[in-house]
Structure 1
Amino acid sequence: MRVPKFIRDNLLLKMTSLNAGVIGLRLVISLFVQRMLAQLVGETGIAKIGQLRNLLQLLTSIGSAGIFTGVVKYVSEHRDDKEQLRKLFSTSFVFVLLGTMLSFMVLFFGAGYLSQLIFDSLEYAYLIKLTSVIVPFIALERLFNGVINGLSKYKQFAKISIVSYVISTGLLVLFLFQYNIDGALVAIAITPVIQLIILLLVFFKVLREYVQFSELSLKIPLAKSLLAFSLMSFFSTVLLNYVEIDIRTMIKNRITEADAGIWTAMTNISKNYLVFSNAIFSLYVLPKFSGIHTQKGFKRELFHIYKTLLPLFGIGMVVVYFAKEYIVALIYPGFTEMVPLFKWQLLGDFIRLASVVVAHQFLAKKLVRSFIFTEVFSLALFFGLARYFVTYYGVEGVVMAHFIRYIIYFFVVLFLVFRYFKKQKAKH
């Protein structure tokens, strides 16, 4: 089928349309799997799965030492400079080695404590130990993913995304029927291994061209540059997942574990459609902002992104809102307490999308202090508001906190980004 000219001439729209097909297929598969999980493991099982997913995301950052964004940035800037790439990957592998060793030791030797902390039971210590062995796969997949994103190989990226998702989902379904909740948790834990294998099968030639494995050394010539991204990753990914684990535990302790599952189910739906925007951020927004150095250029690109993405997301979210009861009945039958949560979650997600686009300027220009301040401020706001509102509104209070948090975050980020450009203009 011939692609319309207005899409062919717009790289962002091309990526968006391609990702729409991939995400659409993922959503269909996800609907099927989430319904199955809801019926077989219930709200409490959904809450446990949410805790494990947060742990894996946390490990994705720690195991790779948080350098994903740095790899994307420097690969996009130096793709033709073999010497700079060699320095980048030599440093990256040292960071990954340190990150995986630290993660393994903490997980393996602290399995009992972490199982009690995350799952409120020693029963899942074996799962924590299994995860410790998977950490190197998580870290390498994240590193190689950074290379692909930096090269903007969005067509191939879409292919491996859907293939690895289908295979890992098939494994999840098989293990779920064989071993119930324990099987589902094990399947989720070993998913990074599948993702790495698929990525290497598709991109081995590309990776070998850019990552000269024989020339890598355990030296860290770009340590200072990548360390900034490690810090930013810690204050975003690591703290974010820690806060989500803590809030889920708080809901369980102050209300019920079933309510923790309701909130997790709501965030699952949110994450399913936001995964679409995440791909766009790393494949398009970050490389694009890295090459823009003036306020005028930034405002022009920001407006271009907004007018392309926001209407698409806005229409999609309106459809989701009016179909919320059908969506709950289809995906999470019996989870009727979710219905009032949609308005706050969707409003918060829309403002979050607008905010995070702007915040990618912090990453593109390595504005470490601004990034860390806004992330800590945002997470502290969410943490405090969620604990306060849950007393008066129950689980709905957590999504209300999500909405209020992003309204405030948006204006803070906007102020700091334009202050940066004013300072740059004053220097010249």
Structure 2
Amino acid sequence: MSPFGALKELIGRFCRSELVKVFSLSSVATLVKMLTGLISTKVVAVLIGPGGVALLGQLNNLVYIVQYLASGAINNGVVKYVSEHKGSVGKVRTLLTNALLVTVVCSLACGTAMIACHRRLSRWIMLSDEYGYIFIVFGVTVILYAFNMLLLSIVNGYREYKMFIRINVANSLAGLVFAVVLTLLYGLPGALIGATTYQSAVFFVTLYMVRRKPWARWSYFRGRIDRSIIRNYLKYALMTLVSIGTMPVAQILIRRYIMLDLSELEAGWWEAMNRISNIYLLVVTTSFSVYYLPRLSEITEPNEVRREIGKAFKVIIPLLLTGFVLVYLCRFLIIRILFTSEFLPMAKLFGWQMGSDLFKIGCYILTYVMIAKARTVVYVTTEIVFTIIYIGLACQLMQTSAGIIGVTQAGMAAYLLHMGVVYLYLRKIGYV
């Protein structure tokens, strides 16, 4: 075969791979989510400025943690076990019954705690007593978010990619309208209420879209209570809680430190950089949740796991590097489009942030193997240790001449170390 023919065949195999197909499909949902995120970010930046963006960042990190607590943090477990047993109706009914029980208990507990502690939360998270009502509203509505996440996890477990993506597109559009209208009507209070409730409001959109699915009948959630299934869910809950708790808590602590030690303005720049990072990384993280975790969960042979890891690196890293170059070259234009002239000094953060994000995605590709294979102890230990390293490095570098740039430098160093340690562990157990 000629070199041209070999190259053509290689490109053909690449384009026919399931990961690329899912990546292409998820890109549609990601594009919609990116556009809605861009519009929402612009509205918020114009109406409430860098200081308001910093406060909203504080709230978003807490919301992220509490929402997962309210869902029982079992969503990855639901994806794994539904994916494994989707051919057995009886087993799926037992799985969904126990998942619903965990979800209801955890969401009611979290909602009650939010309402009871609303004054303290306002003081600690928002640095003021005036935002207690936000946490009351959040406590009342968080159960709807938990139900929404359960439904999405079931769809994902059945590997119904197209349905999963349609639901995400609809949720993004509905969430945009909800959040932007509240911000336009009520300013900063509206933006804060929107941040805590929009993902609960879209539960009704998801429920409508899955209403014809066989598993959406109430009979699928009225099986027997099985303590062994609940214990298995709790293993995933522990890993998920560590995953979703460590980085948001780190960001809350670091942002608070920036606000108190540097300024709210610089905290706003850093939060704006995080928002941009979250937007362009959606392409990758959406594909991970739609394809990568269910696929890793259903395969058992180490050789197959190695092939999936290799495919993920070959597909994702080149796309990331290409995107990073474009984003870096257009950084000033991006800031002007998304924010205001007050945010232009954040351009100095882009290079270090994208280095951090590159190693972050490398970490995700490897640590998802530990999630899929329930390597709980090692996963929890590495997540906690490297989050502590990140916080320590960020505070240390911030106090030097690096200032706010030191935070992004700390992120890159911590993720590089994390990725290296996880790689060595997976190599030891035969998965890489």
Range into which the TM-score falls when normalised by the shorter chain:
over 0.9
User: Are residue 297 (structure 1) and residue 304 (structure 2) matched?
Assistant: yes
- State the partner residue of 1:251: 258
Instruction: Tell me how far apart the structure 2 counterparts of residues 171 and 61 of structure 1 sit (CA, whole Å).
Output: 21
Provide TM-score, normalisation by structure 1. Answer: 0.93
- Contact preservation (8 Å) 1:90, 1:220: no
Deviation at 1:49, TM superposition (A): 1.2
CA distances 1:114-136 after superposition (whole Å, capped 9, x unpaired):
01010011111000010001121
Could you tell me which residue of structure 2 aligns to residue 134 of structure 1?
141
Superposed CA offset, 1:84-114 (max 9, x none):
2122122212211221122122211100000
Equivalent runs, 1:31-42 vs 2, <5 Å: 31-42=38-49
Question: Could you tell me how far apart the structure 1 residues matched to 2:340 and 2:358 are?
Answer: 26
Question: Which residue is 1:148 aligned to?
Answer: 155
How far apart are residue 164 of structure 1 and its match? 1.6
| C-alpha deviation, 1:298, in angstroms | 2.0
What letter matches 1:173 in structure 2? Answer: V
More displaced 10-residue stretch of structure 1: 72-81 or 201-210 = 201-210
Q: How many pairs align? A: 420
**C-alpha displacement at 1:214, in angstroms?**
5.5
Shift of 1:211: 6.8
Q: Which residue of 1 aligns with 2:280?
A: 273
SS at match of 2:248: helix
Question: Partners of 2:217 and 2:162 in 1: how far apart?
Answer: 18
SS in 1 for 2:72: coil
Q: What is residue 327 of structure 2 aligned with on the other side?
A: 320
Choose from 346, 349, 365 the match for 2:354: 346
Please say if 1:102 is aligned against 2:99: no
CA distance in 1, matches of 2:214, 2:152: 10
Residues 214, 267 of structure 1: alpha-carbon distance in 2 compared, 3 angstrom cutoff? closer
Q: CA RMSD in A?
A: 1.9
The amino acid that maps onto 1:83 is: G
User: Distance between the aligned counterparts of 1:95 and 1:136, measured in 2?
Assistant: 12
Instruction: Give CA-to-partner distance per residue, 1:223-264, whole Å, 9 cap, x none.
Output: 221111111112111232222111111110111111111111
Three-state SS of the structure 2 residue aligned to 1:123 is coil
Runs of 4+ in 1 over 4 A off after TM superposition: 4-8
Q: Which amino acid aligns with 1:26?
A: K
The residue that corresponds to 1:288 in the other structure is 295
Report the more deviating stretch, 115-124 or 35-44: 35-44
Shift of 1:72: 0.6
Which runs of no fewer than 5 residues in structure 2 stay unpaired? 1-10
SS in 1 for 2:227: coil
Identity %: 25
> Which segments of 5 or more consecutive residues in structure 1 lack a partner in the other structure?
none
Indicate which of 395, 411, 418 corresponds to 1:387. 395
For residue 377 of structure 2, the aligned residue among 369, 376, 389 is: 369
The equivalent position to 1:262 in structure 2, one of 260, 263, 269, is 269
1:194 aligns with 2:201: yes
Task: Find the counterpart in structure 2 of residue 410 from structure 1.
Answer: 419
Work out the CA distance in 2 between the residues paired with 1:276 and 1:7: 18
Q: How does 1:208-247 map to 2 (within 5 A)?
A: 208=215, 212-213=219-220, 215-247=222-254
Q: How far has the Cα of 1:172 moved from its partner?
A: 1.9
Q: Is the 8 A contact 2:93 2:221 kept in 1?
A: no
- Which residue in the other structure is 1:355 paired with? 363
Paired residue type of 2:91: Q
C-alpha separation in 1, matches of 2:58 and 2:204: 25
Which residue among 193, 206, 222 is the counterpart of 2:213?
206
CA contact (8 A) 2:171 2:205 kept: yes
Distance 1:48 1:244 in 2: 12
Aligned to 1:166: 173
Q: Which residue of 1 aligns with 2:430?
A: 421
Contact 2:142 2:200 in 1 (8 A): no
In the TM superposition, what is the alpha-carbon distance from 1:174 to its structure 2 partner? 1.6
- Structure 2 counterparts to residues 104-119 of structure 1, below 5 A: 104-119=111-126
**Is the Cα–Cα contact under 8 Å of residues 142 and 197 in structure 2 kept in the other structure?**
no
Q: Using the alignment, how far apart are the partners of 1:131 and 1:164 within structure 2?
A: 18
Amino acid at match of 1:304: K
Q: Distance in 1 between matches of 2:290 and 2:255?
A: 31
